[in-house]
């Protein structure tokens, strides 16, 4: 019987040989005969009326075949497209642009160079009348503010609230300590190394569209395309979406971007395949942003016990609400904001606002606004601890939801599946030597050296989700696995999810290996082709393991049921007398009398019992009974350079609890990457706009993505609290670190400067920002 | 430049097969660095680390390793981007730029027209670093000239130098950087060179800071005076890397730190 490395084995990633040898197949590797190239002219203005777009003949660029405008698309009712949040977004403008770098018109050409030259010529000839611009969302809400959308009453998109307002206000009034703080989580961008793109290939003879697309959710995209093109005669069985290897998604490849639609229209019009690949600046300046929540929080305590949280938020959505949330959640899962603490009451309000900025609001490596929620609660708990005169670690330990209270119903209505927060924080404190570092801090401060310690004890909410509450455009958020065992005992498994680097080809195979005893290397895992994979909602929000991973388990167990019947037939034994050990059924009491899963698979095609259908396969569409709630405690130790304002992370300990770990190496890799992506907005990354709506951060010179040089050594630890409702007890880990890390870093910097009277620092905490705080307090040095 | 269509030259000329433009050697009281010498070569050279620590320091913080493997010393100098690191280094060393070509004529046209009227022998010129950087992306080189190499005076005994740079991330241009070269003569500092990166339209030589160091014993008070003078000499503009006040503060701090290190090296107390 072959060795089976199921759960808990650090199996090397099956997909890595092709990635490491440059043999991955990404969108830009796809070349079809006769393919044309699309490139897009973009607006230099944040708000302007387009007064002239030249005809193709005026460009004088050889190889340019066509110029596509909003007026052209409008003839096919394709100038606008719906967003996931029931708003609408321009594919190409008919007369007005709403943000800088918005698509204005597209060029189709016979080569990529000709297309780029065509766009340069086109951009020089398009004429505009600039209009007033509104950039600040608070400004946008004032009466008389410049209106962003002609088709709307005002710039106010939605008001959403959750929780008990009166109980919260009463608890805050009764508290003996209340802290209040405004904080902004600025716009950031996923900046995946592969930008977005597509190849659209329309076959006019068969009326069939193949779309190779950088998408995290191929099935959902196919359904959306079918719905919005039904009036043009396209039907879902004539649409094939293929998501090949994806070079990083992080939520940025969930939305439908105008370029996809324009390329598709161009292919239909020309009858030829059309490729569109964004460049880096287009990706940063026009694709969906993340965060941009302006929050004001109040947190109260009575007798040292946290009692109530009030959270008011202005959400800057840009010119359209194109957030990628489940339909019923305009502010995502922001109401997990009570975090790891046992509160009496909480109330959360969010107002969405239009501004002259790109649309979006994607869940950047975060399960729908959880990063914002964690930042708010972890900053506030730190503040409250300090204002109560207590160490933030001790304060947390006393206020955590105790482990015997799970499943726990939060003040905002979530049912947390399992947790042991005290164990995670205690472990992190032991690993970093928390008490010793506090002593060192006191000594250093006496010498004029500033160091700080920051904690983040976050609770995540992932795995959307139970179909009673979670849907996207009405499609329930289940996910799927289809497993087929071949006669020789090898297998193929297909999923409705789509890996973007997570390692699904390995981890899904390990789940099946655990359940069926077939080694992971004998199991091919396939995703991303809507013609072959079972329907599913895709990979984002750390949902693959909680949903499709569970489906892999369930489908495997269905196969095992049938395998048992076949084994009974082969062993001429009663099913009830058979026992399973990994990879093999044997007769109870006679361990020598057994059949391996490989023997059984062969029999399923060659010698199956009379009356039983041949074959050995199963499918599962898994609807999770609840979300899963991974958690962890991070502790960060920083040193401040008083001469330059630089923050250096000396130590960072991350204790994560994601339930049962399928592949520890992949889990650790996810945490390493996630911590780096959490550090990035805390210290470096930001997209901002000046008063005219000009973007800052629209290229890699200004958008500071950390490299290995800026990244500290991450020290990882784990606790394991299985999810009680997941078939293998796993919770999902892809996003925990991104969600949890920023608050630990901010808390550490504030801690380092607390004695100077600093109570909050906005992110990104740049050297200049820290130096200004020092300088204002006479604490800057020049040596 | 070409990536953003700022420069759209009709053709690019590959100089890699022109002999004599690359290399690194000490001769006749100076270090000769060929214009085509890769930055990575400077970075890895034991000679520069031992004898020219200011150059060695700077070579290690230009852009990132991938860039340094391709980019040249001459390119960094002749491009004269105020954010480039080597112009300030050359000012602090008092280096000499060696050029060849036709300084008073436009670049020969690619069609060959006019080339017949060129004199047979191109002219060789030597331009002091102080006269070389004339503006942002502008140097004393004529359109018909190329930089062939740089001569850096070999330091005498008791010399030391250092480059201190603050950048937001690896590969970024400096928020500010300071190049310092000095020597001790009779127990006091002499011939100090202090120059600043990315706090003006060109690299800036901070003569008042040099004055504060020269004749001093290199104590902290002298360094404080030099640092304040360097900050005053800076002409920074506010941008994403910082406000004017912040950049001046950084120049002040980095001047103190670079001078401390240069002094420690001059005294043999630091590598």
* Closest chain B CA to residue A120: B5
Asked whether residue A772 falls in the same domain as residue A729, the answer is yes
Alpha-carbon Rg for chain B in angstroms = 19
Asked whether A456 and A743 are in contact (CB, 8 A), the reply is yes
Asked whether residue A453 falls in the same domain as residue A501, the answer is no
Asked whether A464 and A367 are in contact (CB, 8 A), the reply is yes
The pLDDT tens digits of the residues spanning B156-196 come to 999 999 999 999 999 999 999 999 999 999 999 999 999 99
Residue A658 lies in a domain: yes
Residue A636 known to be catalytic: no
Residue A445 known to be catalytic: no
Question: In percent, how much of chain A has pLDDT > 70?
Answer: 100
Label residue B109 by pLDDT band (50, 70, 90).
Answer: low
Asked whether A26 and A244 are in contact (CB, 8 A), the reply is yes
B55 is written with which tokens?
A: 């150059």
How far is residue A596's CA from residue A581's CA, in Å, rounded to a whole number?
9
* Closest chain B CA to residue A770: B246
Asked whether residue A680 falls in the same domain as residue A595, the answer is no
Residue A676 lies in a domain: yes
Domains held by chain A: number = 3
Per-window interface: B 14-43 vs A, CB < 8 A: none
Asked whether residue A682 falls in the same domain as residue A741, the answer is yes
pLDDT at site A229: 87
Asked whether residue A114 falls in the same domain as residue A231, the answer is yes
Pure H helices in A201-322: 218-228, 258-270, 280-286
Residue A590 lies in a domain: yes
Last residue of a domain, one of A622, A653, A673: A622
User: pTM of the entire structure?
Assistant: 0.97
Report residues of chain A scoring pLDDT below 50.
none
The pLDDT tens digits of the residues spanning B42-54 come to 999 999 999 999 9
Instruction: Return the ∠ at Cα A183 (arms to A179 and A187), rounded to 5°.
Output: 165
CATH code of the domain covering residue A580: 3.30.365.10
How far is residue A537's CA from residue B38's CA, in Å, rounded to a whole number?
51
- A646 with B242: Cβ contact below 8 A: no
pLDDT at site B110: 55
- B253 with A696: Cβ contact below 8 A: no
Nearest to A407 by CA among A725, A689, A714, A113: A725
Asked whether residue A219 falls in the same domain as residue A312, the answer is no
How far is residue B38's CA from residue B23's CA, in Å, rounded to a whole number?
9
Residue A366 known to be catalytic: yes
* Closest chain A CA to residue B230: A782
Closest residue to A704, CB basis, from B169, B228, B249: B169
Count CB atoms within 10 A of the CB of residue A138. Answer: 11
Last residue of a domain, one of A600, A622, A644: A622
Residue A161 lies in a domain: no
Query: Cβ contacts (< 8 Å) between A710 and chain B: which residues?
Result: 169-170
Pure H helices in B179-219: 207-213
pLDDT at site B1: 85
Q: Which of A61, A642, A644, A647 to mutate to test the interface with B (most CBs of B within 10 A)?
A: A644
Q: Is the ipTM of this complex over 0.90?
A: yes
Label residue B4 by pLDDT band (50, 70, 90).
Answer: confident
CATH code of the domain covering residue A94: 3.90.1170.50
Label residue B103 by pLDDT band (50, 70, 90).
Answer: confident
Closest residue to B170, CB basis, from A644, A702, A709: A709
Residue A160 lies in a domain: no
Last residue of a domain, one of A575, A595, A622: A622
Q: Over the range A505-514, which residues count as b (16 or more CB within 10 Å of their CB) and which as e?
A: bbbbbbbbbb
Nearest to B178 by CA among B245, B250, B80, B78: B250
Instruction: Give the domain range for residue A497.
Output: 16-22+479-622
Asked whether residue A268 falls in the same domain as residue A342, the answer is no
Asked whether residue A331 falls in the same domain as residue A250, the answer is no
Phi, psi at A146, each rounded to 5°: -55, 130
pLDDT at site B105: 75
- A782 with B169: Cβ contact below 8 A: no
Instruction: Return the ∠ at Cα A372 (arms to A391 and A730), rounded to 5°.
Output: 85
The pLDDT tens digits of the residues spanning A625-655 come to 999 999 999 999 999 999 999 999 999 999 9
Label residue B107 by pLDDT band (50, 70, 90).
Answer: low
Asked whether residue A442 falls in the same domain as residue A491, the answer is no
Residue A470 lies in a domain: no
**pLDDT at B108 exceeding the cut of 90:** no
Asked whether residue A702 falls in the same domain as residue A745, the answer is yes
Bond preceding residue A289 cis, omega within 30 of 0:
no
pLDDT at site B112: 54
Asked whether residue A483 falls in the same domain as residue A363, the answer is no
Per-window interface: A 593-652 vs B, CB < 8 A: 643-646
- B168 with A704: Cβ contact below 8 A: yes
Residue A139 lies in a domain: no
Which 3 state secondary structure label does DSSP give A129? strand
Instruction: Return the ∠ at Cα A750 (arms to A748 and A751), rounded to 5°.
Output: 60
Nearest to A412 by CA among A369, A379, A383, A454: A369
For B82, residues 6+ apart whose C-beta sits below 8 A from its C-beta are: B136, B197, B198, B200, B201, B202, B203
Nearest to A730 by CA among A716, A742, A718: A718
Label residue B104 by pLDDT band (50, 70, 90).
Answer: confident
The pLDDT tens digits of the residues spanning A355-387 come to 999 998 888 999 899 999 999 999 999 999 999
Residue A8 lies in a domain: no
Asked whether residue A612 falls in the same domain as residue A633, the answer is no
For A537, residues 6+ apart whose C-beta sits below 8 A from its C-beta are: A217, A219, A220, A472, A475, A477, A478, A479, A496, A543, A547
Phi, psi at A274, each rounded to 5°: -130, 130
* Closest chain B CA to residue A711: B169
């Amino acid at each position: 019987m072959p060795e089976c490395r199921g759960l808990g084995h650090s199996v090397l990633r099956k997909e890595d040989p092709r990635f490491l040898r440059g043999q991955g197949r990404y969108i830009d590797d796809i070349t079809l005969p006769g393919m044309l190239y699309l490139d897009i002219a973009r607006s230099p203005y944040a708000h302007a009326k387009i007064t002239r777009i030249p005809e193709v003949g005026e460009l004088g660029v050889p190889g340019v075949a066509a110029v596509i405008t909003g007026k052209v698309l409008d003839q096919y009712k394709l100038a606008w497209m719906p967003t996931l949040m029931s708003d609408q977004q321009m594919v190409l403008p008919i007369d007005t642009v709403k943000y800088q770098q918005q698509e204005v018109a597209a060029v189709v050409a016979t080569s990529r160079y000709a297309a780029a030259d065509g766009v340069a010529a086109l951009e020089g000839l398009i004429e505009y009348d600039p209009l007033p611009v509104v950039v600040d969302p608070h400004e946008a809400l004032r009466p008389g503010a410049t209106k962003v959308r002609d088709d709307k009453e005002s710039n106010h998109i939605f008001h959403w609230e959750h929780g008990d307002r009166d109980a919260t206000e009463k608890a805050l009034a009764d508290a003996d300590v209340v802290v209040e703080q405004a904080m902004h989580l600025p716009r950031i961008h996923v900046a995946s190394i592969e930008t977005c793109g597509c190849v659209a290939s329309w076959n006019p003879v068969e009326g069939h569209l193949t779309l190779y697309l950088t998408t995290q959710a191929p099935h959902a995209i196919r359904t959306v395309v079918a719905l919005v093109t039904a009036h043009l005669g396209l039907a879902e069985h004539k649409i094939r979406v293929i998501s090949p290897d994806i070079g990083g998604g992080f939520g940025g490849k969930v939305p439908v971007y105008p370029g996809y639609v324009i390329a598709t229209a161009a292919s239909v019009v020309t009858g030829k395949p059309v490729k569109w690949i964004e460049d880096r600046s287009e990706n940063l300046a026009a694709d969906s942003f993340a965060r941009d929540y302006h929050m004001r929080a109040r947190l109260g305590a009575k007798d040292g016990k946290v009692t109530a949280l009030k959270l008011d938020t202005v959400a800057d959505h840009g010119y359209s609400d194109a957030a990628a949330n489940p339909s019923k959640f305009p502010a995502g899962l922001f109401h997990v904001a009570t975090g790891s603490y046992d509160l009496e009451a909480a109330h959360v309000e969010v107002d969405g606002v239009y501004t002259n900025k790109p649309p979006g609001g994607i869940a950047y490596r975060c399960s729908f606004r959880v990063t914002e929620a964690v930042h708010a609660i972890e900053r506030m708990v730190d503040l409250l601890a300090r204002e109560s005169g207590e160490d933030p670690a001790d304060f947390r330990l006393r206020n955590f939801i105790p482990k015997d209270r799970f499943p726990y119903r939060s003040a905002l209505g979530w049912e947390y599946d399992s947790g042991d927060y005290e164990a995670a924080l205690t472990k992190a404190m032991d690993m970093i030597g928390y008490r010793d570092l506090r002593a060192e801090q006191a000594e250093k401060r006496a010498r004029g050296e500033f160091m700080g310690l920051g904690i983040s004890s976050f609770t995540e909410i992932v795995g959307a989700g139970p179909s009673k509450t979670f849907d996207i455009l009405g499609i329930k958020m289940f996910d799927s696995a289809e497993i087929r065992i071949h006669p020789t005992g090898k297998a193929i498994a297909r999923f409705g999810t789509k890996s973007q680097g997570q390692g699904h080809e390995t981890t899904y195979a390990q789940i099946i290996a655990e359940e069926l005893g077939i080694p992971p290397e004998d199991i091919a895992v396939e995703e991303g082709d809507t013609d072959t994979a079972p329907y599913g909602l895709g990979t984002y929000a750390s949902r693959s393991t909680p949903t499709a991973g569970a489906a892999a388990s369930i489908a495997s167990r269905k196969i095992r049921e049938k395998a048992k019947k076949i084994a009974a037939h082969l062993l001429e034994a009663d099913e009830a007398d058979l026992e399973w050990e990994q990879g093999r059924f044997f007769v109870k009491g006679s361990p020598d009398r057994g059949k391996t899963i490989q023997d059984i698979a062969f029999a399923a095609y060659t010698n199956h019992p009379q009356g039983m259908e041949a074959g050995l396969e199963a499918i599962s569409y898994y609807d999770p009974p609840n979300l899963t709630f991974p958690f962890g405690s991070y502790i960060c130790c920083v040193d401040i350079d008083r001469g330059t304002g630089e923050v250096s992370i000396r130590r960072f300990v991350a204790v994560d609890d994601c339930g049962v770990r399928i592949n520890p190496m992949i889990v650790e890799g996810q945490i390493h990457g996630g911590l780096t992506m959490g550090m990035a907005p805390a210290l470096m990354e930001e997209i901002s706009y000046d008063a005219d709506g000009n973007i800052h951060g629209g290229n890699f010179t200004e958008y500071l993505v950390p490299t290995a040089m800026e990244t500290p050594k991450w020290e990882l630890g784990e606790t394991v609290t299985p999810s009680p409702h997941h078939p293998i007890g796993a919770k999902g880990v892809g996003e925990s670190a991104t969600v949890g890390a920023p608050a630990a870093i901010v808390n550490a910097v504030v801690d380092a400067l607390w004695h100077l009277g600093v109570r909050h620092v906005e992110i990104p905490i740049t050297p200049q920002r820290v130096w200004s705080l020092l300088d204002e307090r006479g604490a800057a040095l020049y040596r | 430049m070409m990536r953003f269509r700022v420069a759209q030259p009709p053709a690019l000329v590959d100089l890699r097969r022109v002999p004599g433009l690359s290399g690194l050697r000490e001769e006749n009281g100076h270090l000769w660095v060929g214009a085509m010498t890769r930055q990575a070569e400077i970075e890895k050279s034991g000679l520069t680390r031992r004898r020219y620590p200011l150059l060695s320091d700077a070579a290690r913080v230009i852009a990132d390793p991938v860039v340094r493997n391709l980019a040249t010393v001459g390119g960094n100098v002749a491009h004269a981007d105020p954010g480039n690191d080597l112009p300030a280094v050359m000012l602090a060393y008092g280096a000499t730029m060696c050029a060849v070509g036709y300084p008073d004529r436009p670049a020969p046209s690619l069609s060959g027209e006019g080339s017949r009227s060129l004199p047979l022998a191109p002219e060789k010129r030597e331009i002091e670093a102080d006269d070389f950087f004339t503006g942002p992306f502008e140097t004393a080189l004529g359109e018909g000239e190329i930089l062939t190499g740089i001569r850096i005076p070999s330091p005498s005994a008791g010399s030391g130098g250092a480059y201190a740079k603050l950048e937001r991330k690896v590969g970024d241009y400096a928020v500010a950087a300071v190049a310092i070269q000095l020597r001790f003569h009779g127990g006091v500092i002499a011939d100090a060179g202090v120059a600043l990166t990315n706090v003006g339209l060109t690299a800036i030589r901070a003569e008042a800071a040099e004055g504060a160091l020269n004749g001093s014993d290199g104590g902290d008070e002298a360094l404080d005076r030099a640092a304040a003078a360097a900050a005053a000499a800076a002409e920074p503009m506010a941008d994403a890397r910082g406000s004017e006040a912040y950049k001046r503060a950084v120049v002040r701090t980095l001047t103190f730190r670079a001078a401390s290190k240069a002094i420690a090296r001059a005294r043999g107390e630091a590598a």
